[in-house]
Amino acid sequence: MGFRLATWNINSVRLRIGLVERLLKEHQPDILCLQETKCPHGQFPSKSLHELGYIHIAEFGQKGYHGVAIVSRLPFSEQHSHNFCNKGDSRHVSVRFEGKLPFTLHNFYVPAGGDEPDPEVNEKFAHKLAFLEEMEAWSKSHVAAKGGEAIIVGDLNVAPLEHDVWNHKQLLKVVCHTPVETERFAKVMTAGNWVDVMRNHVPPSEKLYTWWSYRSADWQAANKGRRLDHVLATPGLAKHAKSLAVIRESRGWTQTSDHVPVIVDFE
């Protein structure tokens, strides 16, 4: 059985639950992963989602910050959250889907890293680098070592490739595209033998963005985007990813997130 998987940094799920409903109605994903829900655990706005048929929800949140959730029409099991960097913040949730090709789905919200790309003076950037380093070790011990199929989705807050940003040279000293971040991201990819599903469908030579800043007066005309949201899969699952859609038009919805949804169909 195939499934449609979506990921979206919603930037406050309670504020934008109407947009979540719109996405579910218009694009009909079987599974939706949300990041930056900013919703305390146990207060996730699930009623309207249940009414749309999304009765399986795994959420891990905290007041005001971070937060991740998996909303699904398909049943899942084995919900788990890993405590990265021992900070106790809500940045990871995973569930297990059974079937002909069983897999574990991991939903991540990697720290943004602040504005200054220097871990000596910026604690947020130091946290981000430590998180990515731990993701590398986690990928070896929790994915590669155990075998089986897995998917990582979410706002990973790194634009790893030259054409994942609007200006490669200009952004080399900007958090999300600095060499130290992209190198650590590459190590995560290698450690888990992850396949970049999005770039399997859009060649690395082409521009591909999932985020446009609120600061731009006309985001569409300026088009100064970055690809911060990702879909990574183990090779056995990646070969079943048949189509990709980046829902760019949602960036123009009223009071929307600065990220847009990414949808992949697995068959």
The string of pLDDT tens digits covering residues 203-223 is 999 999 999 999 988 999 999
Q: Is residue 143 pLDDT above 90, yes or no?
A: no
The more confidently predicted of residues 176 and 99 is: 176
Model confidence at 145, in pLDDT bands (50, 70, 90)? low
**pLDDT score recorded for residue 259:** 98
Phi/psi of residue 25, nearest 5 degrees: -70, -40
Assess contact for 176 and 226: CB atoms under 8 A: yes
Work out the average pLDDT over 132-143: 93
Q: What angle do CA 102, 105, 108 make, to 5 degrees?
A: 170
How does DSSP assign 91-117, residue by residue? Answer: -EEEEEE-SSS-EEEEEEE-----S--
CATH classification for the domain delimited by 3-266, as one of 3.40.50.620, 3.60.10.10, 1.10.287.610, 3.40.50.300: 3.60.10.10
Starting at the earlier edge strand, list the strands of the sheet with 56-60. 56-60, 68-72, 31-35, 3-9, 262-266, 241-246
**pLDDT score recorded for residue 147:** 75
**pLDDT score recorded for residue 101:** 84
Between CA 150 and CA 123 the distance in angstroms is 31
**pLDDT score recorded for residue 247:** 98
Task: Give residues with Cβ within 8 angstroms of 119, minimum separation 6.
Answer: 125, 126, 129
Work out the average pLDDT over 24-36: 98
> How does DSSP classify residue 44?
-
Q: Which of 167, 173, 47 is nearest to 118 (CA)?
A: 173
Q: Across the chain, how many H-helices and E-strands are there?
A: 7, 14
Cβ neighbours, 10 Å, residue 46: 16
Work out the average pLDDT over 58-75: 96
Q: Is residue 111 pLDDT above 80, yes or no?
A: yes
Q: pLDDT of 179-208, one tens digit each?
A: 999 999 999 999 999 999 999 999 999 999
Work out the average pLDDT over 83-89: 95
Q: Is residue 61 pLDDT above 90, yes or no?
A: yes
CA torsion, ordered 78, 188, 242, 46, to nearest 10 deg: 40
By residue count, the chain amounts to: 267
Look up residue 54 and give its amino acid. Y
Work out the average pLDDT over 223-250: 97
**pLDDT score recorded for residue 142:** 79
**pLDDT score recorded for residue 182:** 98
Task: Give residues with Cβ within 8 angstroms of 182, minimum separation 6.
Answer: 158, 159, 160, 161
Work out the average pLDDT over 24-39: 98
Percent of the chain clearing pLDDT 70 (strictly above): 99
Share the mean pLDDT of the chain.
96
Whose structure tokens read 């960036």? 251
What are the structure tokens assigned to 187, written together? 């190590």
CA torsion, ordered 21, 23, 24, 26, to nearest 10 deg: 120
